[in-house]
Amino acid sequence: MQLTISQRFYFDAAHTLQREIETEGSRRIHGHTYHAEVSVTGPRDPVNGMVLDLGFLRQRLETVREQLDHHLLDEVPKLGTPTLENLCSFIAEQLSGVHPPVSRVRVWRDAIGDACTLDIP
């Protein structure tokens, strides 16, 4: 039996975005409150009954959050263009050593209704 557990975190960050539409506001430095949810899917450990200790996952997520929170995302190494898509990939990559592996990363901005989900096979 496979179970999926998830942990959420949020961060406030600024960025710019070069795009074809809504160019003026996007090119200026502006900020958002981002929310992220990371899911791990795997079997339950027969000894402790957990897929993964959520305390361990919270520790790992805090190291990711520290790289993003109150930063200019344009300057975060290995992030690339600060899009929701790249944030999902960045978070997944930062958690590459988690076992069982991360199965899904979702990043969204409540204030404007945008979201991206990365499903990892």
23: pLDDT confidence band, cut at 50, 70 and 90? low
pTM above 0.85, yes or no: yes
* Domains parsed from the chain with CATH numbers: 2-119 (3.30.479.10)
Residue of 72, 92, 2, 93 whose CA lies nearest to 30: 72
Please name which of 57, 14, 34 lies closest in space to residue 112, comparing C-alpha atoms. 34
Contacts of 61 (CB under 8 A, 6+ apart): 7, 9, 36, 38, 95
- The answer to whether 32 touches 96, Cβ cutoff 8 Å, is no
Are the C-beta atoms of residues 44 and 3 closer than 8 Å to each other?
yes
Q: pLDDT per residue over 33-70, tens digit each?
A: 999 999 999 999 999 999 999 999 999 999 999 999 99
pLDDT score for 18: 76
Whether the Cβ atoms of residue 13 and residue 73 lie closer than 8 Å to each other: yes
Least confident of 21-25, 28-32, 68-72, 116-120: 21-25
DSSP assignment letter at 53: -
